[in-house]
Amino acid sequence: MNNILTATGLNKAFDNLEVVKDVSLTIKKGEFVCLVGKSGSGKTTLLSLLSGLEQPTSGEVSINGTSITNSLENDLALFRRKAIGFVFQSFNLIPTLSAWENVALPLFPVKMEKEKRQERAMELLGQMEIDHRAEHRPSALSGGEKQRIAIARALVNYPEIIFADEPTGNLDSETGGAIMNILKHLHKNRGLSILMVSHDQELAASCDRIIHMKDGEVVS
């Protein structure tokens, strides 16, 4: 089996408003796919459906052969902890925790020694070249630093796929370019599957494949 993600006939409606309409798509293992479209086209909702953050009104999603549709919330949470990494536009770091603790956050509910958690977090911060900021809280970090920490956090559980929702959306072009380079590096050197949402055609151009969305439908 070559596909890391398969979606079939996905629909999502909020009351009478159809946000995602009959979407079917696949992502191959090790593929870097970019989902592009205008604001309100349904990109983020589709990403939520594909990553199990949201349940579709109809249709099915499976990741690495495991169907995540109609799973119980707790099972979905455990699946996300085991197989999925997230990078958000607004970083979504916990303000009370230091950089390394934010990276190790998905590991807190897992039974393991504190030293091992910290060791893994520090290793990833090192790879993101931000280990010197390990003890700082998010409020003391720049946007680029926060997003590096968020990427390190997405990698902490050795995920099979990373979902990135506008990871450069809150950054200036230079910092955004650097973050994009990190993602490309992870894809190229580690063979990570990545599904990235963006409205920036220029960024999308450097991905393996581009999926265009318009009014909730995949148009190409």
Partner 1 sequence: MYYPYIVKELSYRHNRTMVNIFGIAVGISLFISINALSSAYKKAAQQPFQDIGADLIVQRTAQQTEGSGRQPKSMWGIRLPFSNQLFPDADIAALKQIDGVETSAYALLLWEFTKAGFITIMGVDVNQPSIGALKAKNWIYKGRFPEKQGEIAVEKHFAKFKKLKPGTSFIIDKQTFQVVGTIEIKEGAQAVAPNIYMPIANAQMLLGKEFSAINLVYMRLNNPSLQNQIKSQIASKIKGVSINSSDSSLELMGGVSMISEKFALIASLTGLAGAILLIMKTMISNLVERSHDIGILKALGWTKTDIQKQLMIETLIQTIIGGSLGILIGYLISFGLGFLSISIPVPAEMDFIPAMARHARDANQIVRLPVSVSLSLAASAMVISIITGGITGFILGQKTSKMKPADIFRQL
Contacts with partner 1, residue ranges (CB under 8 A): 45, 48, 53-54, 73-74, 77-82, 84, 86, 88, 90, 92-97, 101, 104-106, 108-109, 114, 117, 153, 157
User: Residue 206 CB, nearest distance to partner 1 (Å)?
Assistant: 26
Q: Which is nearer to partner 1, 97 or 210 (CB)?
A: 97
User: Residue 29 CB, nearest distance to partner 1 (Å)?
Assistant: 21
DSSP 90: T
Q: Give 71's strand partners.
A: none
Burial 114-153 (b: 16+ CB within 10 A, else e): eeebbebbbebbebbebbebbeebbeebebbbbbbbbbbb
**Distances from the Cα of 162 to the Cα of 9, 51, 104, 136, 166, angstroms:** 22, 9, 16, 25, 12
Two tokens, residue 207: 């991905």
User: Residue 220 CB, nearest distance to partner 1 (Å)?
Assistant: 26
- Strands 32-37 and 209-214 come out as parallel
User: Residue 187 CB, nearest distance to partner 1 (Å)?
Assistant: 21
User: Residue 49 CB, nearest distance to partner 1 (Å)?
Assistant: 9
Terminal-residue alpha carbon distance, the chain: 24
Q: Which is nearer to partner 1, 117 or 148 (CB)?
A: 117
Q: Which is nearer to partner 1, 77 or 205 (CB)?
A: 77
Q: Which is nearer to partner 1, 80 or 187 (CB)?
A: 80
Q: Which is nearer to partner 1, 4 or 46 (CB)?
A: 46
Instruction: Count CB atoms within 10 A of the CB of residue 215.
Output: 14
Does residue 6 contact residue 26 with C-beta atoms inside 8 Å? Answer: yes
